Amino acid sequence: MNNATPKLWTMAGGISPPANKQQSLQGVIRKAALPPQLFVPVSQSDFNKPQLCVQLGARVHKGQVLALGSPTMGVTAHAPAAGVVSAITEQQVPNMSGLRELCVVIDTDASDTSWPKLPPLDYLHTDSDTLIQRIFEAGISGLGGAGFPAHNKVRCALHNIDTLVINAAECEPYITADEALLRERAGDVINGCLILLQLTGAARCLIGIEDNKPQAIAALRKHADDSRLQVMVIPALYPSGAEKQLIYMLTGKAFSADTLPVASGVLCHNVCTAFAIARAVLRGEALLSRIITITGAAVNEAANYEVLIGTPVSALLQQSAVDPMRLSQLISGGPLMGMLLPHAQLPVTKLTNCIIATTAQELPTPPPAQACIRCGYCVEVCPALLLPQQLYWFARSKEFDKAQAHNLNDCIECGACAYVCPSHIPLVQYYRAAKAELAQVHDKQQRAVYSRQRFDAHQQRKAIEQAQDEQRRAERATLAKQKQETTSTSSTAAQNAVAAALARVQAKKAALKQAVADNNKDPAP
């Protein structure tokens, strides 16, 4: 590990809400019990259009491919446990859209039969294409954010970056899954970092972690003995774990919403993603489970659990001894950026990192929103240096073009502005609604442009076809005229020949008649 004192840049804005992390860090990572049924989403990312590989009634083994994602933007889905496919149906899953997704329902059993694992790879002597293919085959998506297919994200960064950033900040309250992973399995995380360094050709790896995680920091530094690795401790401030903010704090590089970090020479991955990549490359393991924090005041046994993908949330609540009489809300993710779950029958996905079972006293229903008093607190805490109050007015009055002109798309929806708002205005909801409206407008514009392009192409094809038809008609007319002229010339020549022949015949007749006449004359005296 490089022991040089790192340079840190200061993030704009930010808040320091109560962490509420200690209650889930009292023990080691627990293994969640095998549920009777698994509801495995085959789409497992917003970018995947998978091809089903199993049929209803089929017996599947642990690690067997259920759905094969496209090699470009897909994420492959595997059976987390052995059992029988009892249904292939649309199910509600935790997502912001609320739309149902296709799931493979597996009735599990205790046989625990496993599909053959992929052979381990020596990443130091394996080409990039093979390593990327392994990440794809293992079904690894980004485990810390939007769930972007990890193999595609790495492919885009090949030989285009100089810095690999590993996100270990985990700044949102309640969530401790990454910290628990680092405390107990930091060696595998570091192996994942080394694999990504080898794969991308980056010169250095910066691991950003908040200063309120001393045990995780110590574990990282113990294993990070490569000179290219640098553990960088940043202040505990929300939302320092957001991709843009973390990259700026570690490198000083800033970029807008329409620019990817790769364009600035940076690739960012979550520690859980690095861990999964290490297991896939070094052990041939597919991504079948992930660490999830189960916490909240309604939970009697708050802890971090290793949970199979597709496990119903209700099974986790039962195992963590949730008090149903005290339970008020279920939140997937953190209290600031997470989503409310309508019920506990939804399955765990690859993007699920925390389930919070709250009481009414712990996270009370916010009071009705009041008028904005222009206090400016939202501006002070905005990490994207925006004008939240102005964006709110534009969104509320449906002046979406003005909101866009004020960089609405740079909003990361962290909720810091709403957290400090004394008028309890749900600012993020307004921003999301405005973004959705702008997306619809953009979609209509794109459709209009596409329609215009199709119309222009159609008109161009018609003009070309008309020109070709006219050319063919002109050619046919020319050929007909030439044929007519040729026929006329031939006809005249034939007539002349006939006339000449007749003339010859007439001449011969006249000569013969003359000869006869001459012969009939009297002889001379």
Residue ranges of domains in the chain, CATH in brackets: 25-340 (3.40.50.11540), 375-509 (no CATH)
Quote the pLDDT of residue 525. 45
DSSP string, 173-230: TT--HHHHHHHHHHHHHHHHHHHHHHHH--SEEEEEEETT-HHHHHHHHHH--STTEE
Quote the pLDDT of residue 3. 52
Q: Which residue has the tokens 């929806």?
A: 413
Nearest to 177 by CA among 310, 354, 317: 354
- Tell me the pTM: 0.84
Burial class (CB in 10 A: 0-12, 13-18, 19+), 115: middle
Quote the pLDDT of residue 2. 55
**Per-position b or e across 95-111, b if 16+ CB within 10 A of its CB:** beeeeebbbbbbebeee
Contacts for 23 with CB less than 8 Å, ≥ 6 apart = 295, 302
One pLDDT digit (tens) per residue for the chain, 525 residues:
555 556 899 999 999 999 999 999 999 999 999 999 999 998 755 455 678 999 999 999 999 999 988 777 788 999 999 999 999 998 888 887 777 889 999 999 888 888 999 999 999 999 999 999 999 999 999 898 778 899 999 998 888 899 999 999 999 999 999 999 999 999 999 999 999 999 999 999 999 999 999 999 999 999 999 999 999 999 999 999 999 999 999 999 988 878 889 988 999 999 999 999 999 999 999 999 999 999 999 999 999 999 999 999 999 999 999 999 999 999 999 999 999 999 999 999 999 999 999 999 999 988 999 999 999 999 999 999 999 999 999 999 999 999 999 999 999 999 999 999 999 999 999 999 999 898 888 888 888 888 888 888 998 999 998 999 989 888 888 888 888 877 777 777 777 887 888 888 888 888 777 777 777 665 554
Q: Could you give the CA distance from residue 142 to residue 326 in angstroms, rounded to a whole number?
A: 34
Quote the pLDDT of residue 54. 94
Q: Which residue has the tokens 């070094």?
A: 282
What is the rounded (10 degree) CA torsion for 398, 401, 406, 410?
90
Quote the pLDDT of residue 434. 93
